[in-house]
A and B are shown apart, each in its own frame.
Chain A
Amino acid sequence: MPAWGAHGLTVERGGRAALADVTLTVEPGEIVAVVGGDGAGKTTLLRALAGAIAPTSGDVAAPALERIGFMPTAAGVWRDLSVDENIAFVAAAHGLSGETLRERRAALLAGAGLEHATSRLARNLSGGMRQKLAFSLAMLHRPDLLILDEPSTGVDPVSRVDLWRMVSLAASQGAAVVMATTYLDEAERAHRVMVLDAGEILLEGAPAQVLASVPGHVVESAEPGDPGRTWRRGRRYRVWSPDEPPHGTARVADIEDAVVAAAIAKGA
């Protein structure tokens, strides 16, 4: 199976680069988490991968539309249709029917905990249930490339666990998964992480590589340092320095530390 992704992708919006020269590769069975703050370019990257927007330059390597599963930010379910009707519509669009459809429908509904809500209108579902339905719709045809735009935003912790279980299962079945998320703890569960900032790649690699590739030095301290280079974690502080390590214990505990340190380093 080939790897999917994008090479040298640039998307300009209103004279500003929403994405600048971004390259991303995702192998079958792999989960790549795209993280970054608001306006970092996560959605633009995912929409370009899905073919929903046209890049200004660069190439996208994606399977044919019928082999892509896409879950947009706004959930992408038909709110005035019931759970069953949503599934029936997407199944018909993908030409799924008979035993295959029955099996997949049952497995996805069970995984999403929606088997008792099949006749409920999507607009009456809770936020978490709606996100899980949207995921089920994106997964119904077992796509080669699964693109999820912030699937867990606004979802309760229990539903987030369910969603992650479904995402992991999709990857284990061979789908290449690219998901945008604002939850940095989630990103650590992915095989690889791409940190975007203002349309550019800040850090990229396996979570351990990302932690190791933070430029400069990060230490944990009981006292705050330079306000522009200090951030709080619980009752302690982290201080970043470009050259000489400041006083304290060297520590990049997680992706959150790595993202903040890389953002400070970029602005320094």
Chain B
Amino acid sequence: MKAMILKEFRELRRDRRTMAMLIVLPIVLLTIFGYAANFTVDTIPTRVIGPGAEQVVANAPDLFEIGEVDADATTNDALAWMRDNETEVVIDTTTQPPTAYVDGASLFTAQSASVAFARMGDQVQVDILFNPDLETSWVMVPALIGLILTFIGTIITSIGLVKERQSGTLEQLAVMPLKPADVIIGKIAPYFLLASFDMLVVTFLGVWIFDVPFEGNPWLFAVGAGIFLFVVLGIGVLISTVSQTQAQAIQLAIMLLLPQILLSGFIFPLDAMPTAIAAIGRCLPLTYFVEIAQGIFLRGAGISALWIPFAVLTGMALLVFSAAVLRFRRDLAPSAHHRAKAKAA
């Protein structure tokens, strides 16, 4: 038995990825659940409009972090700000009693705001926009599409590519008269199409079964999903280039998937996380897809409101996909790569 235990430890010591999972994962989970897993929102970005603005600012609970105070703004301005996700709450004093517009697409923020307003009694009437019943599924389904695309893009794609390497056929492809671009596109296109099909199915099922509203432009959503797919497929290809076996690819994909699930704002609100943890979340592609998906589905937001997540995702797609193609190309045509390097030297 001693020999068996010793053998197991020796094998584990040499399996660096499993060791990384054993050591890094508990630390990551502890950090995430310790700091990030927080449903309680401490501050809510709030704007106040109308003639009674100053008085509301003076009486508002600390939870509401009052940003802009605009006595001249109208209710239409308030609704536009909410649609464009410029703020989470607008207190409109043009009505009597004042109306608090709350963004129902930010579930936990909306719940905290509702509780705080309820404590104020009749002073404020609350109007929850975009998700009036604060349905969890309405917020989850758009984000879930991103998770499914991430799953297919990273895990399934990397498994498919590593399978080719593991069975020796990648080497076969490398010496067949196929252009590297043909092989790369030929390998990735089916996953792109399958993920797109899955996206359509989940979108239709979400709208049909869970009554999730689709307020925005479907084409804008399709473009966002397409850009996001390039990012996750690129990550899948990159994983495959540093994995020798399917088990290694799955391990690495899970290590990249887990932070995306926990830190993208899809389960725990980014606003409730400490700045450093939220900053990690802001480096993850799913964070931006969640913003785009929830924005288009629930708020009917257009490109003017969503250009930042679109721009960040496009940048990520260019960077990750180019790196993935270059690495994959090097695996496919090492001799050509060597010749090019020699020529450059």
**Residues of chain A having any CB pair with chain B under 8 Å:** 47, 50-55, 60, 64-66, 68, 70, 72-79, 90, 93-95, 137
Main secondary structure of the interface of B (DSSP, over half): helix
Task: Report the Cα distance A72→B167, complex, angstroms.
Answer: 10
Indicate which residue in B167, B177, B333, B336 contacts A74 across the interface (CB closer than 8 Å): B167
Q: Are A94 and B177 in contact (CB under 8 A)?
A: yes
Task: Report the Cα distance A90→B176, complex, angstroms.
Answer: 8
Q: Are A51 and B177 in contact (CB under 8 A)?
A: no
Main secondary structure of the interface of A (DSSP, over half): loop
Q: Are B176 and A65 in contact (CB under 8 A)?
A: yes
Q: A52-B175, A70-B172 are in contact. List 8 more A-B contacts (CB 8 A).
A: A54-B339, A64-B177, A72-B171, A76-B168, A76-B172, A77-B167, A79-B167, A94-B176
Closest to A64 in B: B177
The contact size tier of chain B is 10 to 19
Closest to B341 in A: A54
Task: Report the Cα distance A61→B334, complex, angstroms.
Answer: 16
22 A-B pairs in the complex with CB atoms less than 8 angstroms apart: A51-B174, A51-B333, A51-B334, A51-B335, A52-B334, A54-B334, A54-B335, A64-B177, A66-B177, A70-B171, A70-B172, A70-B175, A73-B168, A74-B167, A74-B171, A75-B167, A75-B168, A76-B167, A76-B171, A78-B169, A79-B167, A90-B176
Interface string of B327-345 (1 = CB under 8 A from A): 0000001111111000000
Q: Are A68 and B169 in contact (CB under 8 A)?
A: no
Q: In the complex, what's the smallest C-beta–C-beta distance from B25 to chain A, in angstroms?
A: 30
Task: Report the Cα distance A54→B331, complex, angstroms.
Answer: 11
Task: Report the Cα distance A55→B341, complex, angstroms.
Answer: 12
Task: Report the Cα distance A116→B71, complex, angstroms.
Answer: 85
Task: Report the Cα distance A68→B177, complex, angstroms.
Answer: 9
Task: Report the Cα distance A68→B168, complex, angstroms.
Answer: 17
The 8 lowest CB-CB distance pairs between A and B, nearest first, are A74-B168, A54-B338, A66-B177, A76-B172, A51-B335, A70-B175, A72-B168, A50-B175
Residues of chain A with a CB closer than 8 A to B178's CB: 93
**Residues of chain B having any CB pair with chain A under 8 Å:** 167-169, 171-172, 174-178, 333-339
Residues of chain A with a CB closer than 8 A to B334's CB: 51-54
Q: In the complex, what's the smallest C-beta–C-beta distance from B170 to chain A, in angstroms?
A: 9
Residues of chain B with a CB closer than 8 A to A54's CB: 334-335, 337-339
Given contacts A74-B168, A76-B169, A79-B167, contact A52 B176 (CB under 8 A): no
Task: Report the Cα distance A137→B173, complex, angstroms.
Answer: 12
Q: Are B177 and A72 in contact (CB under 8 A)?
A: no
Q: In the complex, what's the smallest C-beta–C-beta distance from A26 to chain B, in angstroms?
A: 16
Q: Are A65 and B171 in contact (CB under 8 A)?
A: no
Task: Report the Cα distance A73→B169, complex, angstroms.
Answer: 10
Q: Are A93 and B167 in contact (CB under 8 A)?
A: no
Q: In the complex, what's the smallest C-beta–C-beta distance from B336 to chain A, in angstroms?
A: 8
Task: Report the Cα distance A51→B335, complex, angstroms.
Answer: 5
Q: Are A52 and B167 in contact (CB under 8 A)?
A: no
Q: Are A72 and B338 in contact (CB under 8 A)?
A: no
Residues of chain B with a CB closer than 8 A to A79's CB: 167
Task: Report the Cα distance A53→B337, complex, angstroms.
Answer: 10
Residues of chain B with a CB closer than 8 A to A53's CB: 334-335
